[in-house]
Amino acid sequence: MQAKREKIVILTGAGISAESGLGTFRDEGGLWAQHAIEDVATPEGFARNPRLVHDFYNARRIQAAEAKANKAHQALAQLQEHFPGEVVIVTQNVDSLHEKGGARNVIHMHGVLEGALCATCDHRWPAPDEMEPETTCPHSSAPSARPDIVWFGEIPYAMEEIEAHLSEASLFVAIGTSAQVYPAAGFVEAARSFGAETLEINLEPSDLANRFHSHRFGPATETVPEWVAALLT
Ligand code: NAD
């Protein structure tokens, strides 16, 4: 009988992009710290002040476009290429640094800065560098373009696909996430319930650290390449 192929499911958060110069959620003085979440990351905030929300994501889009993948993103791409089983990357990040680092088929559960979404007809298209309340949808012509970002109170993308991967995972790894945003924070419990081993890689223990079987603490550009090298040798 053929042995079952191993499957590693990796969840990444803002911490993996921190050393590429993109601030995390809780960085002091960072873009996020200057705005209330309710104002820039909820549908209600967008309805109240679409210009503020567009300005916020325009700034983040420009910053992310200039950022380069770091050694942690590159190591995960190497793992995808050389691991004899399957490696699925699910990210909460809205930057495209996994792809810039060479990763394939990345699941962006919170959307992408590079995308625009029509609030009227759900059409998606590549976002222009700068969006504004007057930006029209190329399909419906309605002036209702919004960033293709999943805001608080909205349902993340690809949840069924992610749950199917978690149910087949032999190893679940969370990298650079504070484990405070659900449903992603619930993935470790789901993976465990399906029998997966679990590993947390983070700068410091997250609030859910005790739910992981093992840990590697330190900057992602060091810990992730070390873990990948250990796995591939
Ligand atoms: P978070 O900011 O809540 O937590 C970041 C985590 O990364 C923390 O636990 C921190 O200890 C850790 N960390 C910081 N620097 C690190 C490093 N160099 N190496 C390893 N770990 C490091 O981020 P989150 O858990 O991803 O949740 C925040 C939400 O904000 C997400 O939904 C995400 O969509 C969004 N966000 C995205 C980006 C991005 O796309 N780059 C940036 C900020 C926020």
Q: What is the CATH number of the domain that holds 197?
A: 3.40.50.1220
Binding site membership of 26 for ligand 1 (Cβ less than 6 Å): yes
Looking at residue 25, its pLDDT comes to 80
> Catalytic positions, please?
110
Q: Which of 100, 132, 149 is the last residue of a domain?
A: 149
Q: 188 and 142: one domain?
A: no
Q: 192 and 231: one domain?
A: yes
Q: 88 and 60: one domain?
A: no
Q: How far apart are CA 138 and CA 100, in angstroms?
A: 27
Q: Which of 94, 126, 149 is the last residue of a domain?
A: 149
Q: 30 and 96: one domain?
A: no
Q: 178 and 232: one domain?
A: yes
CATH number at residue 41: 3.30.1600.10
Q: How far apart are CA 155 and CA 188, in angstroms?
A: 19
Q: 123 and 200: one domain?
A: no
Residue nearest to atom 26 of ligand 1 (CA): 13
Q: 34 and 86: one domain?
A: no
Binding site membership of 176 for ligand 1 (Cβ less than 6 Å): yes
Binding site membership of 181 for ligand 1 (Cβ less than 6 Å): yes
Q: 105 and 172: one domain?
A: yes
Please tell me the distance between residue 40's alpha carbon and the centre of ligand 1 in angstroms: 17
Looking at residue 206, its pLDDT comes to 95
Give the chain's residues under pLDDT 70: 1-4
Q: What is the dihedral of CA 101, 105, 110, 114, to 10 degrees?
A: 60
Please tell me the distance between residue 97's alpha carbon and the centre of ligand 1 in angstroms: 13
Binding site membership of 97 for ligand 1 (Cβ less than 6 Å): no
Quote the domain boundaries for residue 99: 1-22+69-110+156-233
Q: 30 and 7: one domain?
A: no
Look at the chain and report how many structural domains it folds into: 2
CA distances from 193 to 91, 111, 120, 170, 201 (A): 21, 27, 39, 11, 20
Q: 125 and 35: one domain?
A: yes
Looking at residue 104, its pLDDT comes to 97
